[in-house]
Copies of this chain bind each other. A is one copy, B any other.
Amino acid sequence: MDNRVRDRKLRDKIVSAEEAANLIHDGMVVGMSGFTRAGEAMAVPLALAERAKKEPFRITLMTGASLGNDLDKTLAEAHVLSRRMPFQVDPVLRSEINAGEVMFTDQHLSQTVELLRTRQIPPVQVAVIEAVAVLEHGGIVPTTSVGNSASFAILADKVIVEVNLHHPETLIGLHDVFIPAQRPSRTPIPVVAPESRVGLPYIPIPPEKIAAIVITDKQDSEAKVQPPDAETRAIAGHLMEFLKHEVKQGRLTNSLLPLQAGIGAIANAVMNGFLDSPFENLKMYSEVLQDSTFELFDAGKLAFASGSSITLSNAMYKKVFADLDRYKSRLILRPQEVSNHPEVVRRLGTIGINTALEFDIYGNINSTHVGGTHMMNGIGGSGDFARNGFLSVFVTKSLAKGGAISSVVPMVSHVDHTEHDVSVVVTDVGLADLRGLAPRERARQIIDHCVHPIYREKLNDYFERACHRGGHTPHVMEEAFSWHTNLKQYGSMMPEARAAAE
């Protein structure tokens, strides 16, 4: 324990999770660690959920991004959450959000703490941060994610630290905590490469702000790594061909530019695609580092990775953390404000690869809303990278639900990324390079290269009738969502085909 809570006086603050949770009251705004199911505090939120069963109360919960260990589920089931931001992935919480029971604020991941710092959203009263250790001077060393933890701790009135003995002390030194100054005296963020170290390896707070310390021994949730399938392999293949062409044209070197990849099966499969690619000496400047990052390290493809969290399968966790010193000199974990910062993203020129739920013939992207109304997860960091990076790529399978859904539609039912922010779209069918094109030209590329053949004729028909009506971005407005309403009413975006088949 001496190494984990290094200030003797702070050891007096070690309490049970229940006692610590008692610092949190009805109506409070609470900021918790946790980003892409990594590094979340667990004991205190579980104690909150237990208490709420006897004594109902509700809080506003802010995190970095998603929480692991079913915490959002447990908290949602206990009806502890009145408001949640900036991201979530839990089915139970999602259903409460879609029922209008939990107010969900879906934010660009770089922006939450900026809004807090400028007091444009209600202040965090209590921060609950998972740590590897609390240093002599009160500095908190985060675990597998930095997320928004640093600013939550700095801005909160009180800080509860969960010291998690499960994570090795070798994590100390991995983090790089840089906090932009208040305006108007803010200066540039000095990150000029993924490997730039510009801050402190801990969260600097005065020790007296630490109100309670809880000792835990918990594992991060295992990342569900789905193996590549035929479609995701095809998506990766199209993207690798495109990038090779860019190198051939002299627009990129063989080391490309820093890579960012969203979370999930498709993004992970795409990153796997780099294993067999001719690219060398790659770097990542991303949010989340998944199994693929370490596979690329081991294959000698990746030179450096900067992220805000590490989310791994159990097997990969064991491998990496047993030998962390081997990777440590090639890894940095940063606050998500810095990993996703428009300043740094534009300067480095990231290649952003993010997942779409659906996209339309003009290149608008829906990342969040099923059927235009029901929240899936949230926009996450995709907007930070898509707007400001060098290249903005969106990937999705061309079909869903056995062909009942085409991911390429006449008009997306919700817009998260506009036509202005999308360079390239890829499905298993193919890739459309939209750079510099006008909307009608984009439609031609997308229909010819991305839509599944079973929907191509139908989409061509829509586009032709729309062009007949005219406009820079032609649409048949009264039919723009007909594919979505068909799906809802008949269970398929192409009910006529189903009817004909029956």
Query: Which residues in window 443-502 of A have CB below 8 A to B?
Result: 466-467, 469-475, 477-478, 480-481, 484-485, 488
User: Looking at the complex, which of A132-140, A305-313, A413-421 is the stretch in contact with chain B?
Assistant: A413-421
For A143, the chain B residues whose CB sits under 8 A away are none
**CB atoms of B467 and A477 under 8 A apart:** no
**CB atoms of A115 and B477 under 8 A apart:** no
Kindly name the residue among A119, A184, A467 whose own CB sees the greatest number of chain B CB atoms within 10 A. Answer: A184
- Counting CB contacts under 8 A, is A152 at the interface? no
For A471, the chain B residues whose CB sits under 8 A away are 98, 369, 371, 373-375
**CB atoms of A477 and B373 under 8 A apart:** yes
Query: Which residues in window 401-458 of A have CB below 8 A to B?
Result: 413-420, 423, 435-438, 440-441
**CB atoms of B413 and A477 under 8 A apart:** yes
- Counting CB contacts under 8 A, is A120 at the interface? yes
Contact of A438 among B104, B121, B257 (CB under 8 A): B104
Contact of A118 among B119, B188, B390 (CB under 8 A): B390
- Counting CB contacts under 8 A, is A3 at the interface? no
**CB atoms of B436 and A474 under 8 A apart:** no
Query: Which residues in window 116-132 of A have CB below 8 A to B?
Result: 118-122
Minimum distance in angstroms from A280 CB to a CB of chain B: 15
For A418, the chain B residues whose CB sits under 8 A away are 383, 415-418
Contact of A120 among B107, B435, B488 (CB under 8 A): B435
Q: When chains A and B are docked, how far (Å) is the Cα of A484 from the Cα of B480?
A: 12
Q: When chains A and B are docked, how far (Å) is the Cα of A120 from the Cα of B481?
A: 33
Minimum distance in angstroms from A404 CB to a CB of chain B: 17
Kindly name the residue among A193, A342, A348, A383 whose own CB sees the greatest number of chain B CB atoms within 10 A. Answer: A342
- Counting CB contacts under 8 A, is A226 at the interface? no
- Counting CB contacts under 8 A, is A155 at the interface? no
Chain B residue nearest in CB terms to A193? B184
**CB atoms of B372 and A98 under 8 A apart:** no
- Counting CB contacts under 8 A, is A44 at the interface? no
Q: When chains A and B are docked, how far (Å) is the Cα of A358 from the Cα of B99?
A: 28
- Counting CB contacts under 8 A, is A209 at the interface? no
Q: When chains A and B are docked, how far (Å) is the Cα of A346 from the Cα of B183?
A: 10
Chain B residue nearest in CB terms to A255? B184
A378-393: contact bitstring with B at CB < 8 Å (1 yes, 0 no)? 0100010001101100
**Number of identical protomers:** 2
Q: When chains A and B are docked, how far (Å) is the Cα of A45 from the Cα of B313?
A: 62
For A121, the chain B residues whose CB sits under 8 A away are 435-436
Chain B residue nearest in CB terms to A416? B418
Given the known interface contacts A120-B435, A387-B387, the answer about A373 and B420 at a Cβ–Cβ threshold of 8 Å is no
Chain B residue nearest in CB terms to A97? B472
**CB atoms of B475 and A478 under 8 A apart:** no
**CB atoms of A108 and B470 under 8 A apart:** no
**CB atoms of A372 and B120 under 8 A apart:** no
Minimum distance in angstroms from A486 CB to a CB of chain B: 10
Contact of A470 among B83, B341, B373 (CB under 8 A): B373
Chain B residue nearest in CB terms to A111? B420
Q: When chains A and B are docked, how far (Å) is the Cα of A345 from the Cα of B436?
A: 24
Given the known interface contacts A374-B470, A469-B373, A475-B373, the answer about A436 and B183 at a Cβ–Cβ threshold of 8 Å is no
- Counting CB contacts under 8 A, is A100 at the interface? yes
For A478, the chain B residues whose CB sits under 8 A away are 481, 485
**CB atoms of A423 and B348 under 8 A apart:** no
Query: Which residues in window 361-375 of A have CB below 8 A to B?
Result: 364, 369, 371-375
**CB atoms of B192 and A472 under 8 A apart:** no
**CB atoms of B473 and A373 under 8 A apart:** yes
- Counting CB contacts under 8 A, is A9 at the interface? no
Minimum distance in angstroms from A196 CB to a CB of chain B: 11
For this complex, 19 residue pairs linking A to B, each with C-beta atoms less than 8 Å apart, are A100-B470, A105-B436, A108-B387, A120-B251, A184-B257, A184-B348, A186-B192, A342-B342, A342-B387, A343-B347, A369-B473, A373-B466, A373-B471, A373-B473, A374-B470, A375-B472, A383-B387, A383-B418, A481-B481
Closest 8 interchain pairs by CB? A373-B471, A188-B188, A375-B472, A415-B415, A103-B438, A121-B436, A343-B343, A342-B342
